Amino acid sequence: MRIGVLTSGGDCPGLNAVIRSVVHRAVADHGDEVIGFHDGWRGLLEGDHRPLDLDAVAHILATGGTILGSSRVRPEQLRDGVGRAREHVAELGLDAVIPIGGEGTLKAARLLSDAGLPIVGVPKTIDNDIAATDVTFGFDTAVGVATEALDRLKTTAESHQRVLIVEVMGRHTGWIALHAGMAAGAHAIVVPERPFDIDELTAVVGKRFEMGKRFAIVVVAEGAKPRRGSMDFETGGTDVYGHERFAGVARQLAVELERRLGKEARPVILGHVQRGGTPTAYDRVLATRFGRRAVEAAHQGEFGMMTALRGTGITLVPLAEAVARLKTVPDERYAESECVL
Amino acid sequence: MRIGVLTSGGDCPGLNAVIRSVVHRAVADHGDEVIGFHDGWRGLLEGDHRPLDLDAVAHILATGGTILGSSRVRPEQLRDGVGRAREHVAELGLDAVIPIGGEGTLKAARLLSDAGLPIVGVPKTIDNDIAATDVTFGFDTAVGVATEALDRLKTTAESHQRVLIVEVMGRHTGWIALHAGMAAGAHAIVVPERPFDIDELTAVVGKRFEMGKRFAIVVVAEGAKPRRGSMDFETGGTDVYGHERFAGVARQLAVELERRLGKEARPVILGHVQRGGTPTAYDRVLATRFGRRAVEAAHQGEFGMMTALRGTGITLVPLAEAVARLKTVPDERYAESECVL
Amino acid sequence: MRIGVLTSGGDCPGLNAVIRSVVHRAVADHGDEVIGFHDGWRGLLEGDHRPLDLDAVAHILATGGTILGSSRVRPEQLRDGVGRAREHVAELGLDAVIPIGGEGTLKAARLLSDAGLPIVGVPKTIDNDIAATDVTFGFDTAVGVATEALDRLKTTAESHQRVLIVEVMGRHTGWIALHAGMAAGAHAIVVPERPFDIDELTAVVGKRFEMGKRFAIVVVAEGAKPRRGSMDFETGGTDVYGHERFAGVARQLAVELERRLGKEARPVILGHVQRGGTPTAYDRVLATRFGRRAVEAAHQGEFGMMTALRGTGITLVPLAEAVARLKTVPDERYAESECVL
Amino acid sequence: MRIGVLTSGGDCPGLNAVIRSVVHRAVADHGDEVIGFHDGWRGLLEGDHRPLDLDAVAHILATGGTILGSSRVRPEQLRDGVGRAREHVAELGLDAVIPIGGEGTLKAARLLSDAGLPIVGVPKTIDNDIAATDVTFGFDTAVGVATEALDRLKTTAESHQRVLIVEVMGRHTGWIALHAGMAAGAHAIVVPERPFDIDELTAVVGKRFEMGKRFAIVVVAEGAKPRRGSMDFETGGTDVYGHERFAGVARQLAVELERRLGKEARPVILGHVQRGGTPTAYDRVLATRFGRRAVEAAHQGEFGMMTALRGTGITLVPLAEAVARLKTVPDERYAESECVL
């Protein structure tokens, strides 16, 4: 069999572990040939690729990033993207293509699959917001990095007697905020799924100071917004590509809480450290299992599918289902996090 | 409501997070009173305890160990253990007792529950071998510690051109060996569930050197044993308490592999670092969710149950089911780990 | 002997290790009594304190922050600050006062010492900018945190094909930027001691892309500024306390480099994570040695002095010398860091 | 100029950082050519080498081990070792050879230097026992790894109410034991420089239990031995190469302390994790500075020298001085560590 693999979208710890696992299983178990496309869909559309043998993946299991590069190019946005993809797949004699990526990548994967290409997708997002799988790799690493930062920030907040508003990743969902906030014992957790009321948030943090505590930690997902009319809020608008710009919710919250509480409040934006670097053991194992399952699926002719974790097992779900809806933080999970002041 | 909590058995990262969560939910949400028994069942049998309020658990979320202490005392091993437990529960006016522990603890919990005491168990083991829950807290931390050690050992093995036999915890099951071995890219993984054949293992490691590689990493669970007749193997016998002593499988394997391969082979025994210290974010979240669910169960009168993770949700399972069988590494999971040389 | 100890100024990993060491040496070796003042000089000026015995410092060696609290109150800024300090020292029967703090704290210490109070200072700053000591504790931890973040950011910058401008602490000196930049292999390091020329910096980063590299990492100290006339630069002005506000050099650099290079450039501000949390082993050892030496100095009547590291030994230097000048990054150290593109 | 570089002896975090720095300075600043010998002196003696350009060292700064490999081959042990070394240096047209290694390597370096070869040594040992330099790279990483393990072990020792005897590296000197023990707050530190008296050690640990504490941590260097006649002690003898074998001091101490104290005592041997894996920021900076200074020395014709850290500066010392004596833990440093029970 000849298998093509590519990584697309934002950086995510575990991408290299999937690539390695695909090559290991394909080459070592099945005697397949594997090629890697450069920079995601761009490599497939332009026929830019290289062979991947066991040596090529010998030292990448624990490394962040992706040896194949990535980009945000999407075939459906290009003139005749599907046709060019089909052409290169045929030219290269590929029996399967394994794209590794997030929601956008999987939508493109579905498009190509519907057009008859032999696709097995592997889901990837640090945000953990793909409904068809219990967990995505990268999420555990992101939560771990955020939690370690929060552990450090707590002693500093206490020493400086401050409110720290810590912004973590999560444009549409609050999974990282929820887990890191719970893991670090935050005093309030603000997620995009539940627009916040600034009066309530002020009351919560204020109550903590009334109780004699000397600091507070508020964890906020970057995509969080106030309830309509709750406070003046600068929205970020859209950038030249039409992507939503973020407005700096932590910065705005810090200003507002400082004004209302009369306590020093400071924003801390964790940023890209959450999506780079060596993956946790959890993410390496999950990524490795996904890679293996994708190769198996290809050999069993199960195309148009995506690998998924369900409970403790790896399974396949239709790509159509995979991208049907965003997995948001449900009320009962948010309720579990109820912070004690 | 009055709730008693205790921690029993070996150390496990996340114990304090459960205690904190029990106190948070009981005191802050329900206005309950909570007392903590000292040193596991001993504290319950002897009425040795202290009150636990919010201040008592204010700084323990990220700490290893248990603020309540632990011991291996088990009520069924003591004369009238059940009677004394019942007596103290009555005297203290407890409406619920939440024991946090492993297989032995949960068996004792079932015994007391069958005797009519209001018990909600919380499972705890770094070994992840309790069948009724997908995962136990402590496991992720243990795997993380072992993986970080393996990452470090790889460069040293390569520099010294050695075979390193790295012994990780796991007396009866190979979950830590499996996950850490996969996460670190070990070249062979040896688990108790599959007695090893020394000839096969020698062949695997030897093949790696034949391929021109300069080192090899073998991960072995402490409870691993050779297939009968496969090699001379010193068994550890039992200690004065009747517990199985371990024979030092890594040490014996190192001697045997060095003799057979003519390559330097060295044992590394990771030992207790795997069960101490600050828990990972994953374990803190899981422990916190378990603690909350146990308090809810108590308030709903769901006794004789144990908290469990199933998929992404926390649920309750009967204590009877919880201890019915050991969760061993199944063949398909072991197959997933097939190491590439 | 009766000894008072206080921590003043910004948070710094290792403060608790000094407090513990002072108590250990004083109480265990000399049978002294130790009291801790709350919130730095404020506690001394208001007589707000508590006794510190061995139990009080039993679990703090590895913790960030300070169990005594801190503040930025300075005796010389208060009416009769010196008189009130003298009064409380007399009332409490103190034979020595050990203030632990940065430049401002040590200046106040000198003032009180000149006024006849028995002072032994311990220098503290993550910035490492006190000339009289080779190194200050807290610096190694700050560099370690920044380096780990840079390690993570590298893979993300590469995957996204971006220029990342990473702002680290350092208002007046570039020690953290220099060491973290060297440790992580940054492609340019910008320090306050050497106002940058935006054309040169653009050329350096641009050359890297011309060489075919796909990303660049620029480390910049928060206090860095462009050479006069080199680029439009928003200065931060001063806040209500007269402290210099920082202008967000990374943010401005990112905008400018993106405009000039036509490559995506993003700022990352590491912020307070650099000054909180558990100290490195290096900082714990240095802090412990400083604490011990301060107690010895008190017992030998060597007042008006500050502990210092010189080579491998701990010594004492006059407070006057300690605050005479800022230790800036010298040319030869900056030259050592010459980045290879 | 043409420069040869090699790494010899045991693994040590920072070796790759030196190699990278040598190549950066030589190639980028001076336009030199650099070749790397494989497996230490073996590569020089057999002419086994490869070119090292900027690409070859592009991703190695933060990696453990050595890309050049290492071995324990020493030229003086081989027939005509010096002659063969001279021959290959001449053949390859080398103007300088930079060996990176420990005591044995530096002795060999001196031998070759005395024979007229253009040598600049770089000292390397995790043990920090080379007298001519304040610190060697690798030491900080080793201490950091040991301290992190001790932090974890403390909670486990407390939970299990045990004495843990933790064996760290250090055959002839106790620097790692001293620093890790101080950093982690050990209750006793045992170093090779001061043969221990088992009665005294028992008394120290016993006193802790008398004070009501529930556990104790003893840190012991692998080369520690009892005072003559203090206790039965199995010595390790020598192996086939005449190297001293180690007797497992932690294991023997655990048995003896358990017998005398009636408390569970367990040995933990940290082993090779101390010398592998990614170096700390401190070690990367020191290694980078050493590499640069070695290239400068070569260009200035300062041969027969070794790089050294003195205070905050990098300097050169004669190889003769470098290996003249072992740097042992002096009494005053040991006194600083006096443990509080």
Residue D116 known to bind ligand: no
Residue from D61, D285, D307 whose CB has the most chain C CBs within 10 Å, to mutate: D285
Asked if B212 and B163 sit in the same domain, the reply is: yes
Query: In the numeric block, which tokens belong to residue D288?
Result: 């980078």
Residues of A in contact with C278 (CB under 8 A): 152
How many angstroms separate the CA of residue A333 from the nearest CA in chain C?
Answer: 28
Task: Give chain B's contact residues with D (Cβ, < 8 Å).
Answer: 10-11, 15, 63-66, 69-71, 145, 148-149, 151-161, 164, 214, 266, 268-269, 271-273, 275-278
Task: Give the pLDDT of residue B79.
Answer: 75
Read off the pLDDT of residues B77-114 as tens digits, 9 standing for 90 and up: 777 889 999 999 999 999 999 999 999 999 999 999 99
Output DSSP code: residue A16: H
pLDDT band for position B241 (50/70/90)? low
Given a contact cutoff of 8 angstroms between Cβ atoms, the answer to whether B329 and B175 are in contact is: yes
Instruction: Pick the residue of D30, D147, D334 with the most C CBs within 10 A to test the interface with C by mutation.
Output: D147
How high is the pLDDT of residue B240?
A: 56
**In this predicted structure, what is the pLDDT of residue B324?**
83
With CB atoms and an 8 Å threshold, state whether B269 touches D272.
no
The tens digit of pLDDT for each residue in B1-45 reads 999 999 999 999 999 999 999 999 999 999 999 999 999 999 999
Residue of chain B with shortest Cα separation from D165: B272
State whether C168 and C296 are in the same domain.
Answer: no
Which chain C residues are within 8 Å of A164, Cβ to Cβ? 272
Q: Give residue-wise pLDDT tens across range C243-302.
A: 666 778 999 999 999 999 999 999 999 999 999 999 999 999 999 999 999 999 999 999
What does the DSSP 8-state code read for residue B94?
Answer: -
C159 with A69: Cβ contact below 8 A = yes
Co-location of C51 and C149 in the same domain: no
* C187 close to C127: Cβ distance less than 8 angstroms: no
- Is D281 close to C143, i.e. CB distance below 8 A? yes
- Clarify whether residues B95 and B213 are in a common domain: no
The reply to whether the predicted model has a pTM over 0.90 is: yes
What's phi and psi for B326, nearest 5 deg? -75, 140
Long-range pairs, B109-115, Cβ under 8 A, ≥24: B109/B306, B109/B319, B110/B304, B110/B319, B110/B320, B110/B322, B110/B323, B111/B75, B111/B76, B111/B82, B112/B75, B112/B82, B112/B85, B112/B86, B113/B303, B113/B304, B113/B319, B114/B304, B115/B82, B115/B86
- Number of domains comprising chain C: 2
Q: Is residue B330 part of a domain?
A: no
Q: Which residue on chain D is closest to B66 by alpha carbon? A: D159
pLDDT band at C242 (very low <50, low <70, confident <90, very high): low
B334 within domain boundaries: no
Minimal Cα–Cα distance from B234 to chain A, Å? 33
Q: What is the pLDDT along chain D (341 residues), one digit of tens a residue?
A: 999 999 999 999 999 999 999 999 999 999 999 999 999 999 999 999 999 999 999 999 999 999 999 988 888 777 788 999 999 999 999 999 999 999 999 999 999 999 999 999 999 999 999 999 999 999 999 999 999 999 999 988 988 889 999 999 999 999 999 999 999 999 999 999 999 999 999 999 999 999 999 999 999 999 999 998 888 888 777 665 566 667 789 999 999 999 999 999 999 999 999 999 999 999 999 999 999 999 999 999 999 999 999 999 999 999 998 888 899 999 999 998 888 76
CATH number for position C111: 3.40.50.450
Q: Name the closest residue on chain A to residue C277, using Cα atoms.
A: A152
Rounded distance between C-alpha atoms, residue C218 and residue C238, angstroms: 27
pLDDT score, position C245: 66
DSSP class of A25? I
Q: Please indicate, yes or no, whether residues D18 and D113 belong to a single structural domain of this protein.
A: yes
Contact across the interface for C28 and D340, Cβ inside 8 Å: yes
Both A96 and A208 in a single domain? no
Closest residue, chain C, to A269 (C-alpha): C269
Judged by DSSP in three states, C168 sits in strand
CA distance C61 to C64: 9
The ipTM is 0.95
Q: Is A77 exposed, middle or buried (0-12, 13-18, 19+ CB in 10 A)?
A: exposed
Minimal Cβ distance to C277: which of A152, A214, A276: A152
C339 neighbors C219 (Cβ within 8 angstroms):
no
Question: Are D151 and B275 a contacting pair at CB < 8 A?
Answer: no
Kindly state whether residues B291 and B248 are assigned to the same domain.
Answer: no
Q: Are residues B35 and B117 in the same domain?
A: yes
Nearest to A21 by CA among A282, A286, A301: A286
Interface of B with A (CB under 8 A): 24, 28-29, 54, 61-62, 134-135, 140, 143-144, 146-147, 151, 179-180, 182-185, 280-282, 284-285, 288-289, 292, 310-312, 336, 338, 340
What does D32-44 look like in DSSP terms, one character per residue?
Answer: -EEEEETTTHHHH
Examine residue B249 and state whether it is found in any structural domain, yes or no. yes
Q: Which of B312, B315, B331, B337 best probes binding to A when mutated, by most A CB atoms within 10 angstroms?
A: B312
Q: What is the mean pLDDT of chain C?
A: 93
Alpha-carbon dihedral angle through residues D81, D83, D84, D86, given to the nearest 10 degrees: 120
Instruction: List chains touching C (3+ CB pairs under 8 A).
Output: A, D
Catalytic member of D32, D39, D127, D129: D127
Task: Please check whether residues C103 and C173 belong to one and the same domain.
Answer: no
Confidence of residue C159 (pLDDT cuts 50, 70, 90): confident
Query: Shortest Cα distance from C300 to chain A (angstroms)?
Result: 32
The SS3 call for residue D123 is: strand
Task: Based on the residue annotation, tell me whether C232 is a catalytic residue of this protein.
Answer: no
Q: A307-322, pLDDT tens digit by residue?
A: 999 999 999 999 998 8
Give the gap in angstroms from C-alpha A247 to the nearest C-alpha of chain B. 28
The residues with which C130 forms a beta bridge, in sequence order, are C326
Is B183 domain-assigned? yes
Range of the domain at D130: 2-138+279-322
In a domain, B129, yes or no: yes
Answer whether residue A170 is part of any domain.
yes
pLDDT, one tens digit per residue, over D148-192 is 999 999 988 988 889 999 999 999 999 999 999 999 999 999 999
CA-based nearest distance C157→chain A, Å: 8
Distance CA(C75)–CA(C69), nearest Å, equals: 17
Chain A residues lying within 8 Å of C214, measured CB to CB: 69
Q: What does the block give as tokens for D186?
A: 């050990």
> Among all residues of chain B, which has the CA nearest to that of D279?
B152
Cα separation of A267 and A253, whole Å? Answer: 8
Please tell me which of the candidates D135, D143, D285 has its beta carbon nearest to residue C281. D143
Q: For residue D159, give the nearest of B70, B160, B273 by CB distance.
A: B70
Q: Domain check: are C131 and C18 in the same one?
A: yes
- Asked if residue B245 has pLDDT above 70, the reply is no
pLDDT of residue A243: 60
What residues does B122 pair with on adjacent strands?
B100
Taking an 8 Å cut-off on Cβ atoms, the answer to whether D65 and B155 are in contact is yes
**A133 domain residue, yes or no:** yes
> How far, in Å, CA of B166 to CA of B186, rounded?
10
Q: Residue A154: helix, strand or coil by DSSP?
A: helix
CATH number at C225 reads 3.40.50.460
Catalytic residue (choose from C11, C32, C127, C140)? C127
Contact (CB<8Å) C164/A269: no
For an interface test with D, the pick among C55, C140, C284 (most D C-beta atoms closer than 10 Å) comes out as C284
| CA proximity to C5, closest of C19, C17, C15, C16 | C19
Contact in structure between B310 and B94 (CB atoms under 8 Å): no
Catalytic residue among A127, A129, A140, A283: A127
Asked whether residue D275 is marked as a ligand-binding residue, the answer is yes
| Chain D residues within 8 A of C310 when measuring between CB atoms | 311
Residue D129 sits in the same domain as residue D197: no
Chain D residues touching C29 at Cβ < 8 A: 338
The answer to whether D72 is annotated as binding is: yes
Q: Verify whether the Cβ–Cβ distance A182 to B140 is below 8 Å.
A: no
Binding residues of B: 10, 72-73, 102-105, 125-127, 162, 169-171, 222, 266, 272-275
Chain B with chain D: Cβ pairs closer than 8 A: 112
Sign of CA dihedral A75, A78, A83, A89: negative
Q: Is residue A208 part of a domain?
A: yes
Residues A246 and A153 in one domain: yes
B273 vs D152: CB contact, 8 Å cut-off?
Answer: yes
Calpha distance B181→B177 (Å, rounded): 6
Distance (Å) from the alpha carbon of D104 to chain C's nearest alpha carbon: 24
